[in-house]
Chains A and B, each alone.
Chain A
Amino acid sequence: MYKVKVYVTLRESVLDPQGTAVMHSLHAMNYNEVSDVRIGKYMELMVEKSDRSVEDVVKEVCDRLLANPVIEDYRYEIEEAVAK
């Protein structure tokens, strides 16, 4: 069993309206050292071992469903986990 952490964010080239609003709010609170905010999604998947490599499976589900490649990037971390 693997525990997979997936992070999905808007691509660098895509303006993030939510992130921009949060940054403006931080500036209004005088945190002027914050120069950019990007809001994304965090997902945790439990993936059972199968004949396919866990990496292949994770890439495929990210490309097909978890992220939209037109506007989003993703990255992931895979760690071994003990089945509950």
Chain B
Amino acid sequence: MKFAVIVFPGSNCDIDMYHAIKDELGEEVEFVWHDSESLEGFDGVLLPGGFSYGDYLRTGAIARFSNVMKEVVKAANEGKPVLGVCNGFQILLEAGLLPGAMKRNESLKFICSQTQLKVVNNQTMFSNVYQPNEVITVPIAHGEGNYYCDEETLEKLKKNNQIVFTYEGTNPNGSLIDIAGIINEKGNVLGMMPHPERAVDELLGGADGLKLFQSIVKQWRESNVINA
């Protein structure tokens, strides 16, 4: 399976993402610059964390209009897995690939710490290797992770099981009903504030994030490789 890691000016988790895929997951991966006009040949798209365009105006607001995003939307419409982490999540929200918006953390502080997450829905292409309601440890690092949407949208998210990860124990940022990660209705676009790519090796404090990437590959092999 071949992944694209999109690099915007100001991305800073792109190398972690690349490392997670190449060295820990053992799959193919390439960096793709934000002004690229093609994602041909890639089976999955990863939008990394960081501060694209300096977070000017709103987080993700300017990155959402970069050239490559047309291709990301196309890949999403084709049903390819698209994962946005942290700033990547914020970009997916601004692009309208996921519903809702991000506000400043309730505490107004940038928070960098390990968090406990609950895998609320393990029936997605991003979470099928986790146990139902498994509690995992994945770090967060953000100033704007306070997820917000209107009531109607929230009901829809609940009804369709689109909430994949919630914060367990303490809610670090004030996010609505402890939401840490949501998926689109079709089930192929996931956005999450915590960083699974920073939790892929026990040496670095934990490997609970690796299963997320393994889930993507598992699902892809099952539907794309004969005799997988």
Contact = CB atoms under 8 A, between A and B. Distances in A.
A68 B58 contact: yes
A47 interface: no
Interface in B107-152: 107-108, 146, 148-150
Given A17-B108, A18-B108, A21-B108, A70 B61 contact: no
Interface string B85-114: 000000001100001110111111000000
A15 to B, nearest CB: 8
A17 B108 CA distance: 7
A17 B106 contact: yes
Contacts of A34: none
- B interface majority secondary structure: loop
A19 to B, nearest CB: 10
A65 interface: yes
B65 A65 contact: yes
Nearest to A14: B148
A1 interface: no
Contacts of A17: 103-108, 146, 174
A67 to B, nearest CB: 9
A60 B150 CA distance: 23
Given A65-B65, A66-B57, A71 B148 contact: yes
- Size category of the binding interface on chain A: 10 to 19
Contact of B61 (A10, A18, A21, A68): A68
A68 B64 CA distance: 12
A76 to B, nearest CB: 16
A71 B146 contact: no
Contacts of B61: 65, 68
A68 B146 contact: no
Given A15-B103, A68-B58, A71-B148, 18 more contacts: A13-B150, A14-B103, A14-B148, A17-B103, A17-B105, A17-B106, A17-B107, A17-B174, A41-B57, A65-B57, A65-B62, A68-B94, A70-B93, A70-B99, A70-B100, A70-B101, A70-B148, A71-B101
Interface of A: 10, 13-15, 17-18, 21, 41, 65-66, 68, 70-71
23 contacts: A10-B103, A14-B103, A14-B148, A15-B103, A17-B103, A17-B104, A17-B105, A17-B108, A17-B174, A18-B104, A21-B108, A41-B57, A65-B61, A65-B62, A68-B58, A68-B94, A70-B93, A70-B99, A70-B100, A70-B101, A70-B148, A70-B149, A71-B101
